[in-house]
Structure 1
Amino acid sequence: MATRLKSKTLAAVPQSKNDCAESIRLLGELQRQFERERAAMNDAIGAITQRYQPVLSALQQRIDALQGGVQAWCEAHRTELCGAGDRLGKTAHLVTGEVSWRLRPPSVSIRGTDAVLDTLLRMGLGRFVRVKNEPNKEAMLNEPDAVRGIAGINIVTGVEDFVVTPFEVEVTQ
């Protein structure tokens, strides 16, 4: 696991080549300990999830069954719960809670985007096609002199990262 330093915040600065080698060794130890702790945490999360999953699944099934039954009864009795005719309400207040009916806002679902775009354009419905204009950064990197001096564009070059990679043995299984 290589460590990239982005800031110039320094803690203990080694005073010799041996001190630097020792710091790199310690850095490797700390990184490996960090990964061991992360793995232990993930193992614990996995065990907790596995322990509670059957209970949660059983409870969810009971919740779904009860909700389905309540909905079926309320649908059958909506007129008496919410009123009749033009005054049909959307919420019924019961002793232990309330039930409500809400219309979702309209939405559009598209499958096969390329085919839909082609059809819209062929039918003269281009107003339903969005064209996105955005700066082409790759082209600017290929021709930096053409955009040099334009406000808002800055070509960044020559940034150097410092990378520390402690030696460790990879084991394959």
Structure 2
Amino acid sequence: MAKATNRIKAPTQALRVQSRDEVEVAIKQLGDKQRELQRLVTYQNDEITAITASYAEPLQVLKNEISHQQQAIQAWCESHRDELTQNGKQKTGYFNTGEVQWRTNPPSVRITKADQVIENLKTLGMLEFIRTKEEINKDAILLDPEKARTVNGIAIKSGVGEFVIKPFEQDVK
């Protein structure tokens, strides 16, 4: 689990005039609230874990029963498929309580080691199976922003300042 950060980031804002003592008190209160929030999240997760565990067995029993019932229904329907689909004229079999359907998923392509496949396609001259993608190089634009600004459609947004508050805390070891 990733360690929760205690930093609060916010866009830079004009602050009301406050004394140093008031800011120190506010930072302490902020740290207190962050720790209380983390405690509540931990309690919530503990309760969710307990609830999940209490439902695990009955859910598994129902999943198993559903799976067995689906298999029995499918076995009967497969052996009576011609009757249910009017000798293959339709893909659906109708019952008073529901219907069953035979569907064929469209073909799909699975690639392993894409770099090697691309090299193999190039070697075999099968370039029609390789897609070339054009995209804008934003890194190059940031390297020459003045030139890039002359192109319609390019706007360069300057970085936003951040104000960060970090209450002091001890890490539990």
Fold shared, TM-score > 0.5 on shorter chain: yes
* Equivalent residue letter for 1:129: I
2:85–2:91 CA contact under 8 A, matched in 1? yes
Once the two structures are TM-superposed, the CA of residue 153 in structure 1 deviates from its matched residue by 3.0
Percent of aligned positions with the same letter in both sequences?
40
2:139 maps to 138
* Equivalent residue letter for 2:93: A
1:53 maps to 56
Cα shift readout 1:74-118 (whole Å, capped 9, x = no counterpart): 00111112212xx53211111221111111122222222112211
1:40 maps to 43
2:3 maps to none
* Equivalent residue letter for 2:106: P
Q: Following superposition of structure 1 onto structure 2, how do residues 1-150 of structure 1 map, counting pairs within 5 Å? A: 1-6=6-11, 8=13, 13=16, 15-84=18-87, 87-150=88-151
1:14–1:20 CA contact under 8 A, matched in 2? no
* Equivalent residue letter for 1:134: E
Greater mean deviation of Cα atoms: 70-79 or 32-41: 32-41
* Equivalent residue letter for 1:5: A
Greater mean deviation of Cα atoms: 37-46 or 142-151: 142-151
Using structure 2 for the length normalisation, give the TM-score.
Answer: 0.85
Once the two structures are TM-superposed, the CA of residue 22 in structure 1 deviates from its matched residue by 0.8
1:14–1:23 CA contact under 8 A, matched in 2? no
Unmatched segments (≥5 aa) in structure 2: 1-5
2:12–2:161 CA contact under 8 A, matched in 1? no
Once the two structures are TM-superposed, the CA of residue 157 in structure 1 deviates from its matched residue by 4.1
Greater mean deviation of Cα atoms: 49-58 or 18-27: 49-58
Unmatched segments (≥5 aa) in structure 1: none
Using structure 1 for the length normalisation, give the TM-score.
Answer: 0.85
2:11–2:161 CA contact under 8 A, matched in 1? no
CA distance in 2, matches of 1:93, 1:158: 62
Greater mean deviation of Cα atoms: 153-162 or 72-81: 153-162
CA distance in 2, matches of 1:39, 1:6: 29
2:170 maps to 169
CA distance in 1, matches of 2:19, 2:124: 74
1:117–1:129 CA contact under 8 A, matched in 2? yes
